[in-house]
Structure 1
Amino acid sequence: MSQPTERTYLLIPHDEEGHSIKSKEAAELGQTSIGERLTYNDYSTIDWLHCLVKDSYRFRALHLRHGLRASIDQTVDACSGWIAVSLIGMIMAFVAVGIDMSVATVAGLKYGYCSGNPFVSREACCEFVHSAEGHCDRFRLWSDKYWAQFGIYVGWAVLFGIISSSVTMFSKTALPAVGPEARTNGHDPSNGNGYGQGKALYMSAGSGIPEIKTILSGFVIPHYLDFKILVLKAIGAVFAVATGMSLGKEGPFIHIAACVGQQVANRFEKYRDNAGKWREILSAACAAGLSSAFGAPIGGVLFAYEEICVHFPRKVLWRTFLCSMVAAITLKALNPHGTGKVILFETNYGTSYRPEHYFTFVMLGIAGGLWGGTFTMANLKWARWFRNTRLIKGRPVLEVFCVIMVTAALQFPNPVTRAPGVEIIKNLLVNCATNKDNWVCRNEARTDGRWDYFAWLAYGTLGQLASTTITFGLKVPAGIIIPALVGGALFGRLVGQFVTTISPGIFAMVGAGAFLAGVGRMTISLCVIMFELTGELEYSIPHMIAILVAKWTADAISKESVYDLAQSVLGHPFLDTEHALQLIQHEPSSIVQSILPPPSTMAELTIEVPNNNKVSRKVLETHLAYLHRRGLMDGGVVLTQKGVLQGYIAEPELEYGLNTLGKGLNDDQDIRLLGDAEEDEYDLSNFVDRTPITITNTAPMEYAVEIFGKLGIRYLCVTEEGSGRLVGFVIKKRLLIYLDGLKHE
């Protein structure tokens, strides 16, 4: 196994362009006695169906008891989910306010300091004290000279970026991998179980949304939601946003909320001991993250449903709704913006659109879709080129330094883009009929042609889109939501200069939603988020038009959203049943037989159990070694008698039964796998799944996709049509590898 690198692919092998390939040697390996090796070794899979059964047994045991204590325990158990999500909502709101206030204070240092209290933000410093000219006297600029201001601005931005990236470096970790190669590459096995180190991952970098989607789909990324990562992500996000780079804190807020969700869920035994139930709480936490970032509680719920979660039953929907609501209530009570409202970009245009404006809304949607469709490809090409240059390769902090220098040089000269992202959006969405004291409105009130103002808007649009393209993917906490909104608002305000019948702020608002729809491919959730961000319910139809057109346009260019691309590039396993079925439809005849392991693999992973239903420890140890050698962390061994399937025992249970419970047994000791145990027998039959889900080898591949996707199972046993004889079994990862091969054909 190769040394871990940040570019390690966990899908089937890739070429330098990122396309999946299968070498001749790899193909031949599957036909040898050595057999094939599955990828995705860094991720183990949960079984939603087993989690459901496990919780049902727990529920029955709890409700079989009688008496006062039993009634109290049952009531607490019934309320535990609601209590947990309420706590998550409140805690996340406090964390969000702390990060927001810290960002405002740190970002203000790029311009000057508050003479009364240098530890408060510019807004807080100037809240009540202004001069007659409308300027704040308490906030002192570092210098009155342009070039001195420029140098200080860039210097602080570079310092903040280095701090953020350096903090992110502390979150670098190697995920576990199975196999002797991990032990022979200089890595120490963990816990003595033969697991070594696999893919390197910067856990606090990026938005975290691709990783959260992977976790919620049923895969495990160890330690990704630990308290340490929460702290590193929060600190890194403060300094990253303060740099002024084209990134936002909204994506990181979802990761931070998931970390909060884990800390709270682990305090409840009901969720701590059940991976499926634990993910239900995590789904609610994600909604609280967006609710706290934007003050958009309903949008947060819909975002979790549309973009983040795979398993979302009605009970989870209700708890997610409560969690998001509590976060919004707490945010309103804390009043971080000083307005007493949760609306971030409140507007009141006082005019309505007319049918002739529909064409402009469609054009904004097309523009947003064109950028969203090309952004993913441009960002990927930039990353492959720039991060492979001799100077930058292996130096993520230096990459951040270079990008900040470029971003600051592009932003500072432009009065429109010099402010933080949230403030830029506020300025661009303003209605100049009611607010004259604004740089945008003062320029739009001019009667001298305003071509320099048009140039600033055009320059700001191009600069924002370019800087976003080179920023996304840096090793700092960073989201794409605010940068996309800023780019769309700039373009929309520019377009609004040529449509004088209504406020240009309306086009800025619709353009912001269109550009975010193009890059993120969100629809309903984004539409609701825009309502809640602006308070403008009247403009639902313009938003719907622009968002749908943007999605259609972007999909015509590239099927992958920015989050799908990140999952693919980072090698995170994720089963999207909708996209999977579209891929299979293009195959002339795709049946389950296509994804069966080769005969050499199945020979090593099948145990023919004698009539006495017992095998020796040595036999089981041998098959466990086969699993480790092939890297099948979430694989297992099938049990047959005369070729007929009798059961399945997973690798974790087999290893636990042999190396923990049966540590003192000798190699010749017989171990019962099937039937009823007798006295003094060592029995592992309780670990055997006697009712595995089965499918015939000639069944359409769509059956396998739906079974894995809808039931959330970990493995699927395959029998021969007609005879019922076992011919193999398939784990979820094998299906994903097959689908990835179709994607890149």
Structure 2
Amino acid sequence: VVYGIAVPSGLFVPSLLSGAAFGRLCGHLLHKLDHTSGTFADSGTYALMGAAAVLGGMARMTISLTVILLEATGDMQYVLPLMLVLMSARFTGNVFNEGLYDIHIHLKHIPFMEPEVPPIAERHEIVAGQVMSTKVKCLRPVERAGLVYQLLKESSHGTFPIVDAASGGTLYGTASRAMLCTLLQRRAFGSPDVLEEDDINGSLGPRRLSPLVQWDTIERAYPRYPTIDDVDMRESDQNCWLDLRPYANTAPYTVNETASIQRTYRLFRTLGLRFLCVVNHNNQVVGIITRKDLLPEALTNSLLRGRNAHVVDDIRSVS
């Protein structure tokens, strides 16, 4: 009843209240129907079981709710009845739909990854190269401040690969959006004539500039890192250089474009990743995978696109 409305009611307490009221009503009715036999239906016990049933059917939790309700009552004789009620509520609810919290995740389009690999990935041979996003926005190890500012303005990505342009796009590392915004706000720029030509072209020589902003200064802004709207980029700063090498994550997690989706999915689940850089055999960045790319809907679309591409190729070969 209260789900989705703009009042601080939540789901936990209303479920407890409605379940307890319904359980107490059932206890009163049983007592009225069988008051001549000498037995007594405790309304409080029925209220507790009703609260557990409604809350368990909504949240689909068993062990944790059993412990919570036992802690609230302080009576261990209700262990077995509570477990039976909660398991029955969970089983009955799963027959009809998912739990309310799971439905909320889908309605909010949150890329939540289930513990098990999607069935479509088990039935079909899908590789990382089929599901990755190929339009990757990359940066050089030493980049123009104006270009970095424009890139952050035009996109909402949380991480950007850093590639060595001189070697054909070899992956050097990654730079987070929070770090880039902090560097721009702190004006960690080098003058246009400070860097050597090799640095400007992106060559990974032994020369390395000392960081203009220390790492602890960047981390001091956690968790309220500056956004790109907080950066005041002057016209004179557009042509200055931003050396990302001291701040880059030079050991990001990567996956080869020929890796299976099962392996990629387990990497995301096991390591809690938000993205994966996809590289070829020469360690050149060819794409990037996020959690949204591994959802069952996205995998289905990728599989359909691959089949359509094969059909087009067959038609062209015949014609």
TM-score normalised per structure 2: 0.67
2:132–2:293 Cα contact (<8 Å) kept: no
Give me the identity figure in percent.
26
1:691/1:740 Cα in 2 relative to 1: closer, same or farther (>3 Å)? same
Q: Is 1:718 the equivalent of 2:278?
A: yes
- Measured after TM superposition, the shift of residue 692 of structure 1 is 1.1
Residue deviations 1:89-114, cap 9 Å, x none? xxxxxxxxxxxxxxxxxxxxxxxxxx
Structure 1, gaps ≥5 residues long: 1-468
Residue 13 of structure 2: aligned partner:
482
Residue 568 of structure 1: aligned partner:
106
2:265–2:294 Cα contact (<8 Å) kept: no
For residue 551 of structure 1, the aligned residue among 90, 93, 97 is 90
1:549/1:582 Cα in 2 relative to 1: closer, same or farther (>3 Å)? farther
Residue deviations 1:288-316, cap 9 Å, x none? xxxxxxxxxxxxxxxxxxxxxxxxxxxxx
Residue 131 of structure 2: aligned partner:
595
Whichever residue aligns with residue 588 of structure 1, its letter is H
Residue deviations 1:697-727, cap 9 Å, x none? 232323333323332334322123x554432
Residue 39 of structure 1: aligned partner:
none
1:727/1:737 Cα in 2 relative to 1: closer, same or farther (>3 Å)? closer
Structure 2 counterparts to residues 102-501 of structure 1, below 5 A: 469=1, 471-496=2-27, 497-498=29-30, 501=39
For residue 63 of structure 2, the aligned residue among 519, 524, 530 is 524
State the distance in 2 between where 1:742 and 1:680 align: 43
How many equivalent pairs are there?
257
Report the 3-state secondary structure (helix = DSSP H, G, I; strand = E; otherwise coil) of the residue aligned with 1:530.
helix
Deviating more after overlay: 490-499 vs 527-536: 490-499
Whichever residue aligns with residue 577 of structure 1, its letter is E
Residue 606 of structure 1: aligned partner:
138
State the distance in 2 between where 1:512 and 1:710 align: 35
- Measured after TM superposition, the shift of residue 651 of structure 1 is 2.9
Residue 262 of structure 2: aligned partner:
702
1:657–1:684 Cα contact (<8 Å) kept: no
State the distance in 1 between where 2:122 and 2:25 align: 43
Q: Is 1:539 the equivalent of 2:78?
A: yes
1:593/1:474 Cα in 2 relative to 1: closer, same or farther (>3 Å)? same
1:492–1:504 Cα contact (<8 Å) kept: no
Residue deviations 1:249-275, cap 9 Å, x none? xxxxxxxxxxxxxxxxxxxxxxxxxxx
RMSD: 3.4
- Measured after TM superposition, the shift of residue 502 of structure 1 is 5.5
TM-score normalised per structure 1: 0.31
- Measured after TM superposition, the shift of residue 544 of structure 1 is 0.9
For residue 630 of structure 1, the aligned residue among 155, 158, 165 is 155
Residue deviations 1:657-705, cap 9 Å, x none? 3553334634995657745435789743111111111112232323333
State the distance in 1 between where 2:68 and 2:174 align: 46
State the distance in 1 between where 2:187 and 2:265 align: 36
State the distance in 2 between where 1:534 and 1:519 align: 21
Whichever residue aligns with residue 114 of structure 2, its letter is T
State the distance in 2 between where 1:679 and 1:591 align: 39
Whichever residue aligns with residue 30 of structure 2, its letter is F
- Measured after TM superposition, the shift of residue 624 of structure 1 is 4.9
2:169–2:285 Cα contact (<8 Å) kept: yes
1:667/1:696 Cα in 2 relative to 1: closer, same or farther (>3 Å)? same
Residue deviations 1:718-744, cap 9 Å, x none? 123x554432223xxx32355173599
State the distance in 2 between where 1:509 and 1:606 align: 58
1:582/1:664 Cα in 2 relative to 1: closer, same or farther (>3 Å)? closer
Structure 2, gaps ≥5 residues long: 212-241, 302-319
1:705/1:517 Cα in 2 relative to 1: closer, same or farther (>3 Å)? same
State the distance in 2 between where 1:678 and 1:635 align: 22
For residue 729 of structure 1, the aligned residue among 288, 297, 313 is 288
Higher helix fraction (1 or 2): 1
